């Protein structure tokens, strides 16, 4: 049990949280990772991205987590991801890290490698499109038009990827970020190694759970070795993949124990993959959990009894009462908010001072599930883009308009000539 859990009090959201690294979060609210797609065509943070995060830094949250920052320009989640492979973007990164100046908020970068979830064409200019994974197992969604069948990484390539994460973390630390979150959920590369359905290796990286988690554990160790003890290391981990025969809650709890042994600061619990998108729809929820708002809350309740590392939970939280209840129960240490903040950027401040009781955000829908999942992500990305242009968010933007803008933006990003790294 974690003795540092929020517990008691009329507004547990306002309680500080001391982390293993010595960093103290000023409150229990975090701006969770959101895909911004606002880097330039060399993978550097743009002024628009930096301006958007200055607005988010002033929201009142104690912790900011960026969207996907890729460690390899040959493997992107989207054409306009930030990419950090070396120190060439130091000045832009330094300016991005500095958005929290004048606040008590801490800012960490979510480091990611999509593995087989790399869509065709998503590479920096001049790079070979090389889709890799733990094994040559194709995605069961999207078809070959969107996703190529990956090739299995060699032992030497796996070691090189660990080095990439460590180098990116060091560059982030040098730029002034408070830490990083290693993305090991949602079907990305680390999750692919953890999954017995995707990882069919027979070497030291596959087979037993101990072997399947080796990539993640060794990456945590190398990130720690490349940075100081005061650098915050978080991990985003699936509570389960929600696929028969896949990475399940028992596996996840064992990985959580191993991560606690490695001394990570924060564990964010999520779930699902591209093939089973529980992180979008909250598909894992039982009715009893749904009434308590948060996706994956039952898993957090189980994990909190087994590990003392602080737990962050994102997805579904809408009311101040629901957030405080989760904190008071001891199941959760940090409440992650994504869509509520992009809908109401000042919501965290108002939740903390008691002038807001709930988020007003509602799902955007055109009545088709697959389209609606993409639509909701795009709608909120567009609000972040507005913040980056110094404009107020536009809550009244209709779903059809948002979808049309998303299609045009995607076409632009894919068709515009990309620039070689400077």
Query: Quick one: pLDDT at residue 326?
Result: 95
Q: Average pLDDT, whole number, for the chain?
A: 90
- Is residue 7, in this structure, part of any structural domain at all? no
Does pTM surpass 0.85? Answer: yes
Using the Cα atoms of residue 334, residue 186, residue 277 and residue 338 in order, give the sign of their dihedral.
positive
pLDDT tens-place string over residues 198-234: 999 999 999 999 999 999 999 999 999 999 999 999 9
Give residue-wise pLDDT tens across range 81-112: 999 999 999 999 999 999 999 999 999 999 99
248 lies in a domain?
Answer: yes
The answer as to whether 3 is a domain residue is: no
Of 207, 157, 214, the residue nearest 190 (C-alpha) = 214
**What is the structure's pLDDT at 407?**
85
Q: What is the DSSP letter of 122?
A: -
pLDDT band (50, 70, 90) for residue 5: low
Q: Please give the average per-residue pLDDT across 165-170, as a whole number.
A: 98
What is the chain's percent helix, strand, coil content, to nearest 5? 40, 15, 45
Beta-bridge partners for 184: 237
Using one digit for the tens of pLDDT, what is the confidence trace for 17-64?
Answer: 999 999 999 999 999 999 899 999 899 999 999 999 999 999 999 999
* pLDDT for the residue numbered 360: 95
What is the sign, positive or negative, of the torsion defined by CA atoms of 358, 364, 368, 372? negative
Nearest alpha-carbon partner for 111 in 70, 83, 151: 70
- Judge whether 92 lies within some domain: yes
The CA distance from 55 to 47, in Å, is 13
| pLDDT at position 421 | 52
CATH number at residue 69: 3.20.20.70
Find the domain containing 74 and state its range. 12-415
Q: What is the DSSP letter of 345?
A: T
* CA 402 vs CA 139, 360, 377, 389, 393: distances in Å: 28, 18, 10, 17, 13
Cα dihedral across residues 169, 174, 180, 186: positive or negative: negative
Encode burial over 271-307: b for 16+ CB neighbours within 10 A, e otherwise: bbbbbbbbbbbbebbeeebeebbbbbbbbbbbbbeeb
The answer to whether residue 69 sits within a structural domain is yes
Residue 56 resides in a domain: yes
pLDDT of residue 6: 55
Q: Is residue 6 situated within a structural domain?
A: no
Instruction: Look at 348 and 365; give whichever has higher pLDDT.
Output: 348
For residues 254 and 209, the answer to whether their CB atoms sit within 8 Å is yes
Mean pLDDT, residues 279-307 taken together:
69
Q: Mean per-residue pLDDT for 170-179?
A: 98
Total tally of structural domains belonging to the chain: 1
Strand 106-112 to 63-70 pairing: parallel
d(CA 201, CA 394): 48
Average pLDDT over residues 317-340: 96
- Give domain status of residue 1, yes or no: no
- Give the span between the Cα atoms of 269 and 277, in whole angstroms: 14
């Amino acid at each position: 049990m974690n003795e540092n859990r929020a517990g008691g009090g009329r507004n547990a959201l306002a309680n500080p949280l001391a982390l293993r690294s010595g960093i103290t979060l000023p409150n229990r609210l975090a701006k969770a990772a959101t895909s911004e797609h606002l880097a330039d065509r060399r993978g550097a943070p743009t002024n628009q991205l930096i301006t958007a995060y200055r607005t988010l830094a002033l929201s009142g949250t104690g912790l900011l987590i960026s969207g996907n920052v890729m460690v390899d320009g040959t493997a992107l989640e989207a054409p306009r991801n930030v990419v950090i492979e070396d120190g060439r973007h130091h000045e832009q990164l330094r300016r991005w890290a500095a958005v929290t100046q004048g606040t008590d908020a801490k800012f960490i970068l979510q480091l990611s490698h999509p593995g087989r979830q790399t869509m065709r064409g998503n590479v920096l200019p001049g790079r070979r499109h090389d889709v890799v994974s733990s094994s040559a197992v194709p995605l069961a969604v999207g078809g070959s038009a969107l996703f190529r069948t990956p090739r299995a990484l060699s032992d030497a390539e796996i070691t090189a990827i660990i080095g990439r994460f460590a180098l990116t973390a060091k560059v982030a630390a040098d730029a002034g970020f408070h830490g990083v979150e290693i993305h090991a959920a949602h079907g990305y590369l680390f999750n692919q190694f953890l999954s017995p359905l995707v990882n069919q290796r027979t070497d030291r990286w596959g087979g037993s759970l101990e072997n399947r988690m080796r990539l993640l554990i060794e990456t945590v160790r190398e990130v720690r070795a490349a940075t100081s003890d005061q650098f915050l290391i978080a991990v985003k981990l699936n509570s389960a993949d929600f696929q028969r025969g896949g990475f399940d809650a028992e596996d996840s709890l064992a990985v959580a124990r191993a991560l606690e042994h490695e001394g990570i600061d924060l564990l964010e619990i999520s779930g699902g993959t591209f093939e089973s998108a529980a992180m979008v729809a909250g598909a894992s929820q039982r009715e009893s959990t749904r009434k308590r708002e948060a996706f994956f809350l039952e898993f957090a309740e189980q994990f909190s009894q087994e590990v003392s590392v602080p737990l962050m939970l994102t997805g579904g939280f809408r009311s101040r009462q629901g957030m405080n209840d989760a904190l008071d129960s001891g199941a959760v240490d940090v409440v992650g908010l994504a869509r509520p903040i992009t809908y109401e950027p000042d919501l965290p401040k108002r939740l903390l001072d008691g002038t807001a009781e709930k988020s007003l955000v509602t799902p955007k829908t055109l009545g088709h599930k697959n389209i609606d999942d993409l639509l909701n992500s795009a709608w909120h990305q567009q609000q972040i883009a507005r913040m980056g242009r110094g404009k107020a968010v536009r809550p009244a933007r209709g779903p059809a308009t948002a979808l049309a803008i998303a299609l045009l933006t995607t076409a632009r990003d894919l068709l515009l000539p990309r620039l070689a790294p400077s």
